Amino acid sequence: MSLWSVTFATLRKDIRLEWRSKDALNAMLFFSLLVVVIFMFSFDPLAEESRHIVGGLVWVSFLFASVTALNQTWARELRNQVLDAYRVSPAPANALFLAKALGNFIFVSVLEALMTPLFVIFYNVRVLGPAWQLLPIAVLGTWALVVNGTFFAAMSLRTRSREIMLPLLLFPISIPAVLGMVAGTTSILTGEESAHFWIVLLLTYDVVFTTACLALFGAILHAE
């Protein structure tokens, strides 16, 4: 069994399950909608101010929302001992990890695509910098969140009260990535500074932690 065939088989299964149930996506969407509305009442900014804070608001709401989806990533595999079956099968461990991370990446990207227009409407955002650079920041930032999130979700499976554990593990490690996303988005929205450094930082973060996740996931899955 090759890495990619197992990866795509698992990914297809996850997407089909999500397509039929829409559990993770609905929870994430409604959650981040609530965050947007609560932020809107708490800050009530002018257009000029909102340009400076909306980068932070967007990413904080995506971060919190993605945690709700990441928590459910592995729960499905615990039922009927699917994960144990996977552990004894000859399929490579990294294929499972890649499939889960890619699945989460797709779900969080869908969430971002649906929620970004709402932010634009609620906060009257107009981009002053090069808008196309928001795309690499979104892609790299989302991957940074989900790759570590998937890994730590697998880690917190083995702990008590695992729903609380995930953010406790994920947020400290994600601080540089969150800083990169927020500062990069803000510098593009305001058009005051170049966002190049932040894109490079996010790229470095992604490369470093994807490598680390792939290197250590086998040990986590088979840890006894």
Partner 1 sequence: MKRIFPILSVITAALLAYALYQALVVAPTDAQQGDVYRIIYYHVPSAWTAFLLFFINFIASIQYLVSAKASTKAAAKWIVLGIGVVGVIACFLPQVQRMLPVGMRPSAVATTVLAIPLFYFLIGRLFPGQKLDVLAVTTAEVGVVFCTIVLVTGPIWARPVWGIWWAPGDIRLTSTLVLWLIYVSYLVLRRFSNSAQTQMLAAALAVFGALDVPLVYFSIWFFRTQHPQPVIGGGGSMDPRMLHVLLISWIAFLCFAFLVCWSRFRLELLHREIEEAHAMESLLGAGAGSKASLPLSRSSR
List residues binding partner 1 (CB under 8 A): 148, 155-156, 158-161, 165, 168-169, 171-173, 175-176, 179-180, 183, 193, 197-198, 201, 204-205, 208-209, 212, 216, 219-220, 223-224
CB of 166 to partner 1, least distance (A): 11
Tokens matching residue 16: 């089909």
Q: Which 3-state string (H, E, C) describes 94-144?
A: HHHHHHHHHHHHHHHHHHHHHHHHHHHHHHCCCCCCCHHHHHHHHHHHHHH
Contacts for 187 with CB less than 8 Å, ≥ 6 apart: 129, 193, 194, 195, 198
Q: Which of 153, 194, 188, 196 is nearest to 173 (CA)?
A: 153
Contact (CB, 8 A) for 165 and 172: no
Choice between 138 and 199, CB closer to partner 1: 199
CB of 141 to partner 1, least distance (A): 13
Choice between 130 and 176, CB closer to partner 1: 176
CB of 5 to partner 1, least distance (A): 26
Choice between 10 and 156, CB closer to partner 1: 156
Residue 45: how many other CB atoms lie within 10 Å: 17
Distance of CA 203 to the CA centre of its chain: 15
Choice between 58 and 201, CB closer to partner 1: 201
Choice between 16 and 158, CB closer to partner 1: 158
CB of 212 to partner 1, least distance (A): 6
CB of 64 to partner 1, least distance (A): 17
